């Protein structure tokens, strides 16, 4: 049984929530390692819907411990909103949710700056979620940030002042209001800390102890590989490391203690926010995918940009993450199409590129090279067995596998847990061993 990372292979919104929810019972704990409340998914549990942005969805599985790692940026009020929602539904969080005391505090002034910057940037904006993610990570890296444990530090006001001076300078230059004295924010921080305190823990020690005791961990990545601050389409990225490497730095669990990476990939491509998107479909085809795939942001409600499957991008993500198995989602969105193009390479100034370019200018200038596959024009939702998929759907999957260099181990053919095909052999079976049974049981098989 292996500790496993679940990573988005595109620009986020690949459907990680459903897959993590499905796999949860096979693991002793679920751990998030980066990002903040820019992430978001709605989990249907029983007949209730829960909007979770910070807390791993494992919290909805009775008794399962959940960890929010040191690599995260945590807005206390956003966390409390989720805790209230869970409490109102009778979900016990005390003694089950462990928040790293090394995680950074995301403060309202970070969101103010994020929004002011986006407003000022006009057409060149990143299209952030406006939650303050960038400024929170900037403060961390610049060493002006506040860890959650420091929200009640005797030096709190002094530390806040150092941050506020910097933020205020930029905010007022952008036309915003001065921030005032740090004492008010300091009072708020102390109140936050009081409520946070029962959840704060040295999560690294906790995780090491669990690993020593033979417990297994599921690491949940947020956003997607192409939004990674190092490897993504910089500067149109988020400010953290969603790729598998981030799971180690973001939790303190060494790479040697993590055995596998499951990549979540949508059967086509979407992106929300600005930045290059080779193969973006502006016309009717894009509208078709958006409508049929219900491609609207869960956090901001923005319509997502859509395109056909981009094998160049996913091939790159497979390498970045060492992905040995894939969960392919939303195949059913393609059910009605007669033909399905797949981008297999990019063309740039007469040259064919099969690797994802690092340079933004190149990415903006490339043209996708498509291979067109036959559609299956049959309803695939609810199918529980690969062999029962239409022949053309199996050919589509095999083509993607060959193109990106990884096998499809899970196939989601609808939003509900029951609508998932599990490969009877391959890496997922090796990783989960007999625990695969719990996944199959969850699926309702």
Between residues 120 and 423, which has the closer beta carbon with respect to ligand IMP?
A: 120
Task: Tell me whether residue 348 is one of the annotated catalytic residues.
Answer: no
Instruction: Fill in the per-residue mask, 259 to 298: x = in contact with ligand IMP (CB under 6 A), - = not in contact.
Output: -------------xx-------------------------
Name the segment binding ligand IMP (CB under 6 A); options: 23-31, 99-107, 160-168, 221-229: 221-229
Task: Tell me whether residue 205 is one of the annotated catalytic residues.
Answer: no
Name the segment binding ligand IMP (CB under 6 A); options: 56-64, 124-132, 211-219, 428-436: 124-132
Across-strand partners of 342?
Answer: 309, 371
217 binds ligand IMP (CB under 6 A): no
Between residues 87 and 358, which has the closer beta carbon with respect to ligand IMP?
A: 358
In the complex, minimum distance from the CB of residue 98 to ligand IMP, in angstroms, rounded to a whole number: 22
133 binds ligand IMP (CB under 6 A): yes
In the complex, minimum distance from the CB of residue 299 to ligand IMP, in angstroms, rounded to a whole number: 6
134 binds ligand IMP (CB under 6 A): yes
227 binds ligand IMP (CB under 6 A): yes
User: What residues from 45 to 74 belong to the interface with ligand IMP (CB under 6 A)?
Assistant: none
Instruction: Fill in the per-residue mask, 233 to 262: x = in contact with ligand IMP (CB under 6 A), - = not in contact.
Output: ---x-xx-----------------------
Q: How many residues make contact with ligand IMP (CB under 6 A)?
A: 20
In the complex, minimum distance from the CB of residue 240 to ligand IMP, in angstroms, rounded to a whole number: 8
128 binds ligand IMP (CB under 6 A): yes
User: What residues from 19 to 38 belong to the interface with ligand IMP (CB under 6 A)?
Assistant: 38
Binding site for ligand IMP (CB under 6 A): 11-13, 38-39, 126-129, 131, 133-134, 222-223, 227, 236, 238-239, 272-273
Q: Which residues are catalytic?
A: 13, 41
């Amino acid at each position: 049984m292996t500790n496993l990372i679940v990573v988005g292979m595109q620009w986020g919104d690949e459907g990680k929530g459903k897959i993590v929810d499905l796999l949860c019972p096979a693991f002793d704990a679920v751990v998030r390692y980066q990002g903040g409340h820019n992430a978001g998914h709605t989990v249907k549990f029983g007949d209730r819907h829960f909007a979770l942005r910070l807390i791993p969805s494992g919290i909805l599985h009775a008794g399962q411990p959940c960890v929010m790692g040191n690599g995260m940026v945590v807005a206390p009020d956003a966390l409390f909103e989720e805790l209230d929602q869970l409490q109102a539904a009778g979900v016990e969080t005390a003694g089950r949710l462990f928040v790293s005391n090394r995680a950074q505090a995301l403060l309202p002034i970070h969101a103010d700056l994020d929004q002011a910057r986006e407003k000022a940037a006009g057409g060149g904006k990143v299209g952030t979620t406006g939650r303050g993610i960038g400024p929170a990570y900037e403060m961390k890296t610049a060493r002006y940030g506040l860890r959650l444990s420091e929200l009640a530090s005797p030096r709190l006001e002094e530390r806040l002042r150092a941050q506020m001076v910097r933020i205020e300078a930029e905010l007022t230059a952008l036309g915003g209001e001065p921030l005032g004295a740090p004492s008010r924010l300091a009072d708020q921080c102390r109140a936050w800390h009081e409520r946070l305190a029962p959840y704060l823990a040295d999560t690294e020690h906790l995780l090491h102890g669990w690993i020593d005791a033979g417990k297994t961990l599921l690491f949940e990545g947020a956003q997607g590989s192409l939004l990674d601050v190092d490897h993504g389409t910089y500067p149109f990225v988020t400010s953290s490391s969603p790729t598998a490497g981030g799971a180690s730095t973001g939790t303190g669990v060494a790479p040697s203690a993590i055995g596998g990476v499951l990549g979540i990939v949508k059967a086509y491509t979407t992106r929300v926010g600005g930045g290059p998107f080779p193969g973006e479909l502006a016309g009717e085809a894009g509208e078709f995918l958006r409508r049929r795939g219900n491609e609207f942001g869960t956090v901001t409600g923005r319509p997502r940009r859509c395109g056909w499957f981009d094998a160049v991008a996913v091939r790159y993500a497979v390498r970045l993450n060492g992905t040995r198995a894939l969960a392919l989602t939303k195949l059913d969105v393609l059910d009605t199409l007669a033909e399905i193009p797949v981008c297999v390479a990019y063309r740039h100034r007469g040259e064919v590129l099969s690797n994802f370019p690092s340079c933004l200018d190149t990415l903006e200038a490339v043209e996708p090279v498509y291979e067109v596959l036959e559609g299956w024009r049959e309803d695939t939702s609810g199918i529980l067995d690969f062999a029962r998929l239409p022949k053309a759907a199996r050919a589509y999957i095999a083509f993607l596998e060959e193109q990106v260099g990884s096998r499809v181990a899970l196939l989601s053919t609808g939003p509900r847990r029951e609508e998932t095909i599990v490969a009877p052999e391959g890496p997922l079976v090796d990783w989960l061993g007999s625990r695969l049974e719990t996944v199959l049981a969850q699926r309702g098989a």
